[in-house]
């Protein structure tokens, strides 16, 4: 196995963060990948999702603990380098993984100011499951897991099911479901409330047709290093 592929480097970076070891060499390796080589290696959505999920989850921890960056600047500042280009966490989440959705449009509008670089790197199809894999250091965030290109779909299904099982309360008598605010903030990514009902049917085999959907308050309390 080539230990210098972008996907392997992203996994190693996240593992080194988890082990609280020095990430300098790995950050340099990722920063100096030739851009054409990165694009060639990440030539389908499986590769893109695995690489950028690991990158986001690793760099949030690095920026928060080593650079001592705080919200909201930690999301907006282009503070790390991939393949010779500077990126922000927002670039990764909303630009690449969400296929350049405008951050404040609930997932319904594209960002008209997206750069050519982000468009070239972005996934071809938005996968709602990435929302249950991105960790921004808050108590209500999904735990951090490691994603591999060859098994990304099953890993994302597992992350989705685990998160929904832990974050959902069903009141079958009153037909009310209390669930994560992520469904509200990124409604368009999930296909609106109809899509949320379909997700519960597919992921948890739970029929919530006719249920009222209510959203829980999101806890932004720091919960760094929350690895699955």
Report pLDDT for 185. 98
| Residue 191 within any structural domain of the chain | yes
Predicted TM-score (pTM) of this structure: 0.97
Report pLDDT for 3. 63
User: How many other CB atoms are found less than 10 A from the CB of residue 217?
Assistant: 7
Q: How many domains does the chain have?
A: 2
**100 and 177 share a domain?**
no
Report pLDDT for 1. 43
**92 and 179 share a domain?**
no
**207 and 133 share a domain?**
no
Residue 194 lies in domain: 168-215
| Residue 117 within any structural domain of the chain | yes
Q: Is the peptide bond before 72 cis (omega within 30 degrees of 0)?
A: yes
**142 and 185 share a domain?**
no
**44 and 105 share a domain?**
yes
Report pLDDT for 4. 85
**209 and 136 share a domain?**
no
Q: pLDDT tens track of the chain, all 228 residues? A: 456 899 999 999 999 999 999 999 999 999 999 999 999 999 999 999 999 999 999 999 999 999 999 999 999 999 999 999 999 999 999 999 999 999 999 999 999 999 999 999 999 999 999 999 999 999 999 999 999 999 999 999 999 999 999 999 999 999 999 999 999 999 999 999 999 999 999 999 999 999 999 999 999 999 999 998
């Amino acid at each position: 196995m080539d230990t210098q592929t972008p996907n392997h480097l992203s996994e190693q970076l996240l593992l080194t963060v988890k082990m609280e070891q020095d990430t300098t060499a790995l950050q340099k390796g990722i920063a100096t990948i030739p851009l054409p080589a990165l694009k060639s290696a990440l030539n389908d959505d499986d590769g893109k999702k695995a690489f950028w999920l690991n990158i986001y989850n690793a760099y949030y921890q690095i920026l928060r603990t080593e650079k001592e960056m705080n919200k909201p600047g930690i999301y907006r500042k282009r503070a790390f380098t991939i393949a010779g280009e500077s990126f922000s966490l927002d670039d990764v989440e909303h630009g690449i993984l969400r296929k350049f959705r405008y951050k404040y449009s609930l997932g319904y509008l594209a960002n008209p100011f997206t750069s050519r670089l982000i468009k070239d790197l972005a996934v071809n199809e938005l996968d709602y499951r990435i929302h249950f894999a991105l960790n921004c250091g808050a108590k209500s965030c999904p735990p951090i897991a490691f994603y591999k290109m060859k098994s990304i779909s099953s890993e994302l299904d597992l992350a989705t099911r685990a998160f929904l099982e832990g974050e959902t309360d069903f009141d079958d008598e009153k037909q009310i479901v209390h669930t994560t605010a992520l469904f509200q903030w990124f409604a368009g990514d999930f296909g609106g409330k109809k899509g949320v009902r379909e997700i519960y049917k597919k992921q948890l085999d739970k029929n919530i047709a006719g249920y009222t959907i209510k959203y829980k308050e999101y806890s932004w309390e720091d919960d760094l290093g929350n690895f699955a």
